[in-house]
């Protein structure tokens, strides 16, 4: 008998930001494969006796390979269990969701995707700002700050990313932001464009830093912080 997989988006870390559907699936799961940022108090919603398997990936740390995670997910479901794949933020945004969906489809395993609060929305809310504004910030764009090698991705659309009228959110970009800013300024983005660094959003360790893109680039070049974070820049980032 083949099981069923629920991709559950856990939000940025605060368990109160879980959806009712997410809580229900956790409470009924036989096994939960969770990311590092989805652990802690969120796992308290899993039922007693459920298998809890950490498969998270963190920059600069030893992590399970994606093909291993996908294989593990398939194997658990093939035993007939109800499986939750718990992903931080919203699983559809830089969460490697597609690789795991492809593996399940190839194995003939049914699944569902439960959306959640993405870190970008949570960071803006914590900072007391919107992501859009009429006339001055008509567009929001999300970009990843590193590729599979951990470096700044090649082929970035610098014209779009240097749009001073957009709110841009950089996921997983603390280590590569200095290099990105060099390219952005060369592409025409003003060096004093407001920037917001949001670390450990919605947790007790949350820290918000408001500055400019060039100042933030300089700070991050000297920082060894391992706190999860994302960067917002554009007309609204100064609050």
DSSP result, 190-238:
-TT-EEEEEESTTSTT-EEEEEEHHHHHHHHHH----S-EEEEESTTTT
Per the annotation, the verdict on 35 as an active-site residue is yes
Per the annotation, the verdict on 57 as an active-site residue is yes
Report the C-alpha gap between 172 and 139 in whole angstroms.
21
Q: What single-letter DSSP state applies at residue 92? A: T
Active-site residue among 35, 87, 90, 174? 35
Instruction: Name 26's Cβ contacts closer than 8 Å, sequence gap at least 6.
Output: 8, 32, 42, 43, 45, 46, 47, 84, 86
* Backbone conformation region of residue 200, classed left if phi is above 0, alpha if psi is from -120 to 50, else beta: left
Q: What does the longest C-alpha to C-alpha distance in the chain come to?
A: 59
Strand ranges inside 88-157, DSSP E:
110-114, 139-144
CB 180 within 8 A of CB 173: yes
Backbone dihedral angles phi then psi of residue 138, each to the nearest 5 degrees: -85, -5
Neighbour order of strands in the sheet with 139-144: 139-144, 166-171, 229-233, 194-199, 207-212
* Backbone conformation region of residue 192, classed left if phi is above 0, alpha if psi is from -120 to 50, else beta: alpha
Q: Is the dihedral of CA 79, 80, 86, 91 positive or negative?
A: positive
Active-site residue among 57, 71, 215, 238? 57
Q: Which residues are catalytically annotated?
A: 35, 57
């Amino acid at each position: 008998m083949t099981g069923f997989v629920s991709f559950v988006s856990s939000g940025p870390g605060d368990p109160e930001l879980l959806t009712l559907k997410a809580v229900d699936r956790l409470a009924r799961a036989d096994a939960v494969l969770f990311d590092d940022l989805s652990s802690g108090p969120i796992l308290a919603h899993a039922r007693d006796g459920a298998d809890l398997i950490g498969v998270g990936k963190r920059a600069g740390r030893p992590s399970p390979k994606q093909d291993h995670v996908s294989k593990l997910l398939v194997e658990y479901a093939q035993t007939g269990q109800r499986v939750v794949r718990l992903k931080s933020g919203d699983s559809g945004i830089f969460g490697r969701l597609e690789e795991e969906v492809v593996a399940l489809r190839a194995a003939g395993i049914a699944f569902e995707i439960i959306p959640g609060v993405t870190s970008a929305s949570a960071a803006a809310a914590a900072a007391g700002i919107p992501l859009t504004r009429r006339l001055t910030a008509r567009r929001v764009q999300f970009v990843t700050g590193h590729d599979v090698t951990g470096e700044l991705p090649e082929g970035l659309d610098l014209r779009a990313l240097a749009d001073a009228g957009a709110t841009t959110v950089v996921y997983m970009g603390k280590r590569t932001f200095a290099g990105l800013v060099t390219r952005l300024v060369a592409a025409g983005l003003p060096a004093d464009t407001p920037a917001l660094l949001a670390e450990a959003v919605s947790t007790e360790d949350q820290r918000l830093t408001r500055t400019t893109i060039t100042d933030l680039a300089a700070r991050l070049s000297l920082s060894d912080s391992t706190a999860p974070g994302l960067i917002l820049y554009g007309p609204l980032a100064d609050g």
